[in-house]
């Protein structure tokens, strides 16, 4: 039984180890794009063509930094926060049919499991901000919790709309049903639910129009203010893992997953999610930050009623397609 379990979980561990490498280079990619958008060069010196060794250098630097901890902080929770964030965001990735033939895609509840696990990140963020006994961190995590739990509702509803039309929650069925036409091209419902998904995905990933928890001008560095060295590196990596997970999710649910225009391959998921990630980076470097009250009011008084109406329309569409 143990051998069977090992052979079952091997592709998942493979994809997680590749994932860490990909995510390290996502940081480099974001810095490059940001530099180009601001007419700079970006990382250039470490590694000759375009600084390709920069992620390695960053990791080594962060590992050799002094590991400081405020004396009045809650020591156990302070150390537990970054570990929890990293473990949860990596294990959520085991569910995505990404890069290798993942056996988890045929689990009948894989989408629900992904949502459930990836929303546990907020526990780690809250614990780390609260335990570092810094007022900036505390304000930051309170904002972060309010923001992430609020935007989870439209996010989940927009992900459920294709599931209602298909009638299944497993990634395998969702990918299979988009063989001929991607969900983004289905008239009306596809576009509206993608817009809802994109807005709330930006908020879930703490990206710029909604990065209230790391507002530099008011909260120094948010919940990572007291962290340094390897713990800070874990937070930083986990943020990008989470973001890449969201872009893979978007490319599976709305852009057909491995079904390309001509060929069907797992590499196409990676390409699509890199394009999605690049789009998120463009949004980050061209927008401003909005206030916390505007953020929450926009969610509760606009996004949620709109997503409810779209949910009703999807339900009626399914009803008429089944009984007429």
C-beta of 30 vs 173, nearer to other proteins? 173
Beta-carbon count within 10 A of 191 CB: 14
DSSP secondary structure, 192-214, as one string: HHHHHHHHHHHHHTT-GGG-GGG
- Between CA 315 and CA 84 the distance in angstroms is 37
Question: Whole-number minimum distance, CB 292 to other proteins, in Å?
Answer: 7
Between 97 and 126, how does the x/- string for binding to other proteins read (CB under 8 A)?
Answer: ------xx-xxxxx-xx---x---------
Indicate which single residue of 72, 180, 321, 324 sits in contact with other proteins (rule: CB under 8 A). Answer: 72
Cβ distance 264 to 258 under 8 Å? yes
The residue count for the chain: 324
Q: Does 152 bind other proteins (CB under 8 A)?
A: yes
CB neighbour list of residue 96: distance below 8 Å, 6 or more residues apart: 102, 114, 171, 245, 248, 249, 252
Q: Does 18 bind other proteins (CB under 8 A)?
A: no
Contact region for other proteins (CB under 8 A) — 143-151, 176-184, 185-193, 210-218? 143-151
Question: Whole-number minimum distance, CB 169 to other proteins, in Å?
Answer: 6
Indicate which single residue of 229, 289, 290, 306 sits in contact with other proteins (rule: CB under 8 A). Answer: 229
What tokens does 86 get? 């990293």
Q: Does 142 bind other proteins (CB under 8 A)?
A: yes
Q: Does 67 bind other proteins (CB under 8 A)?
A: yes
Contact region for other proteins (CB under 8 A) — 22-30, 165-173, 184-192, 264-272? 165-173
Q: Does 167 bind other proteins (CB under 8 A)?
A: yes
What tokens does 134 get? 């810094």
Q: Does 145 bind other proteins (CB under 8 A)?
A: yes
* Residue (of 240, 236, 248) closest to 276 by Cα position: 248
C-beta of 85 vs 280, nearer to other proteins? 85
Between 261 and 300, how does the x/- string for binding to other proteins read (CB under 8 A)?
Answer: -------------------------------xx--xx--x
How distant is the alpha carbon of residue 184 from its chain centre? 19
Residue 7 burial by Cβ neighbours in a 10 Å radius (0-12, 13-18, 19+): exposed
- Between CA 6 and CA 171 the distance in angstroms is 22
The DSSP code for 105 is G
Size of the site for other proteins (CB under 8 A): 84
Question: Whole-number minimum distance, CB 31 to other proteins, in Å?
Answer: 23
Cβ distance 261 to 178 under 8 Å? no
Residues 305-324 that bind other proteins (CB under 8 A): 305, 308, 311-312, 315-316, 318-319, 322-323
């Amino acid at each position: 039984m143990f051998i069977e379990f090992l052979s079952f979980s091997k592709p998942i561990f493979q994809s997680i180890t590749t994932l860490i490498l990909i995510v390290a280079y996502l940081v480099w990619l974001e810095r490059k794009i940001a530099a180009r958008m601001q007419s700079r060069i970006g990382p250039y010196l470490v590694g000759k063509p375009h600084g390709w060794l920069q992620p390695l250098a960053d990791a080594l630097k962060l590992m050799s930094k002094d590991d400081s901890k405020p004396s009045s902080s809650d020591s156990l929770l302070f150390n537990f926060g970054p570990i929890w964030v990293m473990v949860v965001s990596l294990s959520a990735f085991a569910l995505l049919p990404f890069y290798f033939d993942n056996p988890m895609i045929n689990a009948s509840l894989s989408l629900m499991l992904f949502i459930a696990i990836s929303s546990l990140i907020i526990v780690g963020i809250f614990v780390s901000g609260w335990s570092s006994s810094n007022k900036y961190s505390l304000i930051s995590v309170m904002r972060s919790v309010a923001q992430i739990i609020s935007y989870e509702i439209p996010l989940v509803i927009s992900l459920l709309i294709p599931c209602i039309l298909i009638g299944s929650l497993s990634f395998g069925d969702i990918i299979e049903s988009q063989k001929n036409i991607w969900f983004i091209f289905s008239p009306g419902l596809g576009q509206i639910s993608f817009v809802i998904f994109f807005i709330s995905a930006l908020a879930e990933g703490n990206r710029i129009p909604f990065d209230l928890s790391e507002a530099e001008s008011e909260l120094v560095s948010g919940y990572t203010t007291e962290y340094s060295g390897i713990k800070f590196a874990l937070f930083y990596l986990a943020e990008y893992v989470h973001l890449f997970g969201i872009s893979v999710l978007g490319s599976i649910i709305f852009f057909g997953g491995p079904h390309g225009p001509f060929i069907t391959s797992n590499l196409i998921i990676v390409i699509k999610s890199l394009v999605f990630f690049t789009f998120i980076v463009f949004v980050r470097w061209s927008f401003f930050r909005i206030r916390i009250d505007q953020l929450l009011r926009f969610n509760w008084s606009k996004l949620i009623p709109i997503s409810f109406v779209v949910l009703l329309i999807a339900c009626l569409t399914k009803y008429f397609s089944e009984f007429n």
